[in-house]
Amino acid sequence: MTTFGAPPFQPGMTTDTYIPDQLIGGDLKIVTDNATITGGAIYKRGTVLGKITASGKLTQALAASNDGSQTPVTALVDDVDSTGGDVTGPVFRQAELNGNALILGTGITLSTAKAGMEAAAGYNLFIKSPVTAADPT
């Protein structure tokens, strides 16, 4: 258990450092929704998802799929464990996402994800490609 309080630097006290995952790529208001996630896997935050046409369920977008899920439509807000079957999980409805932090399925490129997510009906997602602030020397 981490103890928070003043003064933070006394014997026996610990501090935590928050290190963001950089998934959010802008200041557009974030809107999320719950959706049915299938696929029998553990998906990490930022996994790019496609919608299965027949069922309307979401699964990881893979280029080799031919059930509609090969077209990316959204990404996961949080980690989801669907190993036991279909689960309800949080997905982005509106956001600016950092393309470098997205988890792309096999055969899905960043440009494919961007085109699919920006064109998906009912979603207002924008993929950004941030420029590094590293010293160029």
* Distance, C-alpha 137 to centroid of its chain: 33
Domains of the chain: 32-128 (2.40.300.10)
Percent above pLDDT 90 for the chain: 70
Name the 3-class secondary structure at 124: strand
In whole angstroms, give the CA distance from residue 51 to residue 16: 38
Distance of CA 57 to the CA centre of its chain: 16
Partnered with residue 72 across adjacent β-strands are 50
The 10s digit of each residue's pLDDT in 20-74 is: 788 998 889 999 999 999 978 999 999 999 999 999 999 999 999 999 999 999 9
- Report residue 2's pLDDT band, with 50, 70 and 90 as the boundaries: low
Taking every pair of Cα atoms in the chain, the longest distance, rounded to a whole number of angstroms, is 60
Q: What is the pTM of this model?
A: 0.81
For residue 87, pLDDT over 90 is answered with yes
The DSSP secondary-structure symbol of 107 reads T
Distance CA 32, CA 45 (A): 13
3-state secondary structure (DSSP) of residue 113: helix
